[in-house]
Every structure is written in structure tokens, then in C-alpha cells.
Structure 1
Amino acid sequence: MTLFTILALAAFFILKLFLIVVPMRESFVIERLGKFRTVFQPGLHLIVPFIDRVAYRHEIREQVFDIPPQHCITKDNIQVEIDGLVYLKVMDPQLASYGIGDYSLAAINMAQTTMRSEVGKLSLGEIFSERETLNETIVREIDRASESWGIKVYRYEVANISPSAHVVTTLEKQMVAERDRRADITLATAEKEAKINMSEGVRQEAINLSIGERQRRINIAEGRGREISLLAGAQATGIALVAEAINKPGGNTAIKMRLVDQFVEELGKILASSDISVLPGEMARVKGIFEGVDQVTKQFKS
């Protein structure tokens, strides 16, 4: 058993020297006598001991690197502190090993440089509203620069945007002032609309009153017109009847008698309401009566 164990251990040691297993998530860069030979993908591979060696091991899954916070100056001269995350993947292990010393550090530094440059082109408000555009620009610039590094940058995400305390205080005051301004505008608009509605109500009331007054006057005028027309018609009828009665026998005498009666009646009213009289009232009445009787007598005689 001891000899078997020794032989098994020796065989395992020999296999260990000649065979290498690459995990599924990695790829190995193999050098022979210090010179690049090949890249081993995940699986079992054979190497020459003491001649071939694993020079680099690369993670072939997508990796995420944290971008440390840094101070940037915006287009409107406001200092902000921005950090983020960059997502990349090793596409060519050979270039990732020999094209750049440390592709992760290079990607982080490139992201910081590009971020400072792009933030300087935007105002503070645009940074918050156009974050997606900023992310896409940084990804495009890093991906263009990393073509010779054997990596592929998939996306960049701005994590936090933190203005300075003074800027935050200023922005808060600005927001309060903006809210107050909007409230004043709303109140002024409401008051304006209320006054407009009131004036419209007064105007409509005046119009309705004027229309009613006009209609009332029209109705009164029409009533008066009808009254005058009826009176005129009645007077015309009465005059026609009087004229017809005059033409009849004894009509003229009857008319004179009627006139005398009216004269006596009106004279009595005048004497009753007047304060000054030229002639005694009884004498005027007697004289009028006798004159009227005399005229009537003459008419009958004729």
C-alpha cells in the first residue's frame, strides 16, 4: 500500500505538471520561455513543465468597477462631486495582458477624465436632466480609447451627484423663491379671473336691465299708441255720430242745448275753484241761463 500510494502520488504530481484546468469563468495567457504562446480557454490543457507557464489570468465575465468620487466644475461654475460605476468585459486576453499594464485602473482613470470633461460642458440643471446622455458619452469615449486594451466597455452609470453645501443652500433658497413666485402668480391669476367674472356679471346685469327697460318702454309706447288709436277712433266715431245727428231735424238745437249745459257745468266748476270773481256767481249763472233760453226760443220760433 505504501508503494502504491507513492506511485499514485508520483503520477498525480506528473499529471499536475503536464496538465492544467482552466475554470469556466477565466482564461489563461500561456508564455513559453518568456514569450507569448497561446491563450487557454476554459477546459483541460496540456503544457510542457518548466518551459510553459501561466503568465496572466483574466476574468472573462462582465466586471464592474467603482469610480471614486471626484470634484468637477460645471458650465455655470458650480463645483459638484460625482462618482459612478463602469461595466466592462475582457474580450481579448492577449491584448489585455500586453496592450496595457492594468486595464481596470486605465478604465477608471479614463472614466474620471472623460467625466470631468463632459461635466464641464453642461450646467448643473443639465447634468441632472441629461444623465443618460452623459453616461452614453462617457461609454463612447472610454470604448474608443480601450480598443487596443482588449476590453469592451458596456455601460457607465453616474451614481451620485453632490453639489457643495453652499450650492445646496443656494438651490434651496432658489426653489423656495420659485415656489413663492408661482404661488403669487397663481393668486394673481385667480384674483384677475375673479374680477373678470365679477365685471362680466355686472356687465350682463346692466345689459339685462337695459333690455328690460327698453322692452318696458316699448310696451308702454305700444300701449299708449293703442290707447291713442282707440281714442282717436272713438272720437272719430263720436264726431261722425254728432255730425249725423246735426243733419237730422232739431239736431242743431239739441247741440246748442248741449253746449249750454256744458257751459253752465264748466262755469260752476271754475267759480267753485277760483278765489277771485269778476261777477257774482249767481248772476253769471242766471245770465247764462236766460241767454241760452232766449236763443233756444228764437230757434224754435224760426
Structure 2
Amino acid sequence: MEENLVFALAIIIFALVIIIKGVRIVPQSDLYLVERLGKFNRVLHGGFHLIIPVVDSIRAVLTSREQLVDIEKQSVITKDNVNISIDGIVFCKVDDAKEATYNVVNFKNAIANLAMTTLRSEIGGMDLDDTLSNRETLNAKLQNELGSAAANWGIKVTRVEISDISVPAEIERAMNMQMEAEREKRAIETKARADKEAVIRRAEGFKQEEILKAEAIERMADAKRYEQEQIAAGQKEAMRLINESMNQNENAAEFLLAKDRVAAFKALAESSSTDKMILPYEVAQMVGSTSVLGDAFFKGVSNESKNNV
């Protein structure tokens, strides 16, 4: 009886062990590669899975998360024979767990070594200036080359970054001097362009000023001419009206002369000068007549004296 109990207990324990061994709970980010009797069977993704104990075994556990592969610093010679030190980083992730397990021994080491050789090859065909200024182009070339090779290993290269490029101290000093000279050259060119622009602007301003002056003089001349034309037209019209009035009325001329005399007498009366004498028109006529008679008399006497002589 006790032997049967022990046997039953052993059977139950063995069944529990088998069940426990056959149950696999895979985390979301992991990939379990299962072999059955030493041959690839399937890949277990995140979740609950059952396998056959003893028959099935977990060959490898991989992660589906993005991984980082460091490219160690190495010396590289550029196309113009400058020895530089360079390192970088490769970002990749497992795209096919089967190929990543069976097609390569260690895909991280393989990618690192492939990146080193590809980096030497690419930089060997570039000048130093291109290497320093075209990192984006270099990164794209490396990603393309590594991606093509890593695809056979079930790995997807997502990004490649050149983290540091170091040049010898003497080359760095020469580059600094060159950059300083280039900055001074750009400053001189900028100043020259600014001076040229200033001269052009001053010339344009002077030209515009002279144009405006000429336009102002022309407009003033036009205005003066228009004023004179209007005055002349007014005087012409006034003279025409005076002629018409004189033709219609013989006293019009005397009226105009009297009007002018009144205006003259008024201006003379308002003057502050003390050396003035105002006489009526009739007296002035009489004085004028007397003066004419006197001149005639004296001329007659003078002629008679000449004849007697």
C-alpha cells in the first residue's frame, strides 16, 4: 500500500515537473528561439507558450529592442594623407531571430568589425575637409553599407553616428589659422561690399536730390510762366475793355486820368516828406502855360540880339 502511494506521488511530481518545463512565459520585448531535437522549430514571441520538455529546448534568447554597437576609436588615413582618429555608434535591432542565431556567431561583433572596415574604406576616398564637414553624408553611406550586409544576418541597422573625429595637433593649428584667415577675408569682403553699397546709396541719394531740385525749378518756372500769362491775359482784357469804353464814351479817358491823379495826390498827401507842394490841376495848367510863354519870350529876345549883332 505504501509502495503504491509513493509511486503515485512520484508520478504526480514528474507530471508537475513536465508541465512546469513545458510552460514558457515570454516577456513582450524578448524572442525565444526553440529547437526540437536539435533542429529549428519556431520563435516564441511575447506571451504564454507550451513546449514539449526534453524534445524541445530554448536555443537562444534575443531581444527585439534597439541595441547599440560601439565602434572603437581607430586611426584612419584620408585621401590627402592625413592620419585621423575616429569612432562611432551603430544602432540596430533583431529583425529575424532565426537568421541572427544561425547565420552569424555574434552579430554585434560582426557589425562592429564590418563598421570599422567600411569606415576605413569610405574615409580613404575623402579629403580631410570633406570628412569633417560631411558627417551626414558619411553616416548615410555607412548605414547603407552596413544595412546591406546586416540584412543577411537578420539584423536591421536603424542609424549610424560618427561620434568623434580627432586630428593631429599640428593639423588642428593649421586649420585654426586657415579658418581665422578665412574669417578675416570674409570680414574684409563684407566691409568692402558695405562701403560700395554706401557709396552707391549716397550717389543715388544725390541723384534723386538733384532730380527733385530740377523738378522743383521746372515747376516753379511753369508756375511763374502761368502767372505771367494770366497777368498778361488780364492786362490785355483790361485794355480791351478800356478801348471799348473810350469808343463808347469820350469822357472815359478823362475819367481814368482823373482817377490816377487822385490816387497820386492821395499817395503824396499820405507821404511824411516835408518837401512837397500840392496845387490844383487848373493852377498847375496855368503855371505850365506861363512857363511855356516865358520860354517863348526869352527865346525871342535871344534871337533878336543875335540878329542885331
For 1:83-162, list aligned pairs within 5 A: 83-162=87-166
In structure 1, distance between residues paired with 2:135 and 2:164: 11
Deviations along 1:19-42, one digit per CA (max 9) or x if unpaired, are 222221111111222222222222
SS at match of 2:48: strand
Gaps of 5+ in 2: 1-5, 208-298
SS at match of 2:28: coil
TM-fit CA distance, 1:181? 3.8
TM-score w.r.t. the length of structure 2 is: 0.57
SS at match of 1:85: strand
In structure 2, distance between residues paired with 1:116 and 1:93: 30
In structure 2, distance between residues paired with 1:117 and 1:23: 40
In structure 1, distance between residues paired with 2:50 and 2:190: 80
The 1:49/1:127 distance shift into structure 2, 3 A limit, reads same
The 1:192/1:87 distance shift into structure 2, 3 A limit, reads closer
The root-mean-square deviation of aligned C-alpha atoms, in Å, is 3.8
Structure 1 counterpart of 2:54? 50
In structure 2, distance between residues paired with 1:197 and 1:94: 74
Structure 2 counterpart of 1:178? 182
TM-fit CA distance, 1:187? 6.4
Structure 2 counterpart of 1:18? 22
Structure 2 counterpart of 1:288? none
TM-fit CA distance, 1:75? 2.5
Among 33, 40, 45, which residue is 1:36 paired with? Answer: 40
TM-fit CA distance, 1:7? 9.1
TM-fit CA distance, 1:138? 0.9
Structure 2 residue identity aligned to 1:145: A
Deviates more, 1:186-195 or 1:107-116: 186-195
TM-fit CA distance, 1:93? 0.7
TM-fit CA distance, 1:49? 2.1
Sequence identity percentage:
39
In structure 1, distance between residues paired with 2:143 and 2:103: 20
The number of equivalent residue pairs is 213
Among 67, 71, 76, which residue is 1:63 paired with? Answer: 67
SS at match of 1:86: strand
The 1:129/1:11 distance shift into structure 2, 3 A limit, reads same
TM-score w.r.t. the length of structure 1 is: 0.58
Moved over 3 A (4+): 5-12, 179-198, 299-302
Q: Is the 8 A contact 2:85 2:166 kept in 1?
A: yes
Deviations along 1:38-69, one digit per CA (max 9) or x if unpaired, are 22222222222222211111111111212111
Gaps of 5+ in 1: 205-253, 255-295
In structure 2, distance between residues paired with 1:20 and 1:194: 81
SS at match of 2:157: strand
Deviations along 1:169-213, one digit per CA (max 9) or x if unpaired, are 211222233334445556677788899999x8xxx9xxxxxxxxx
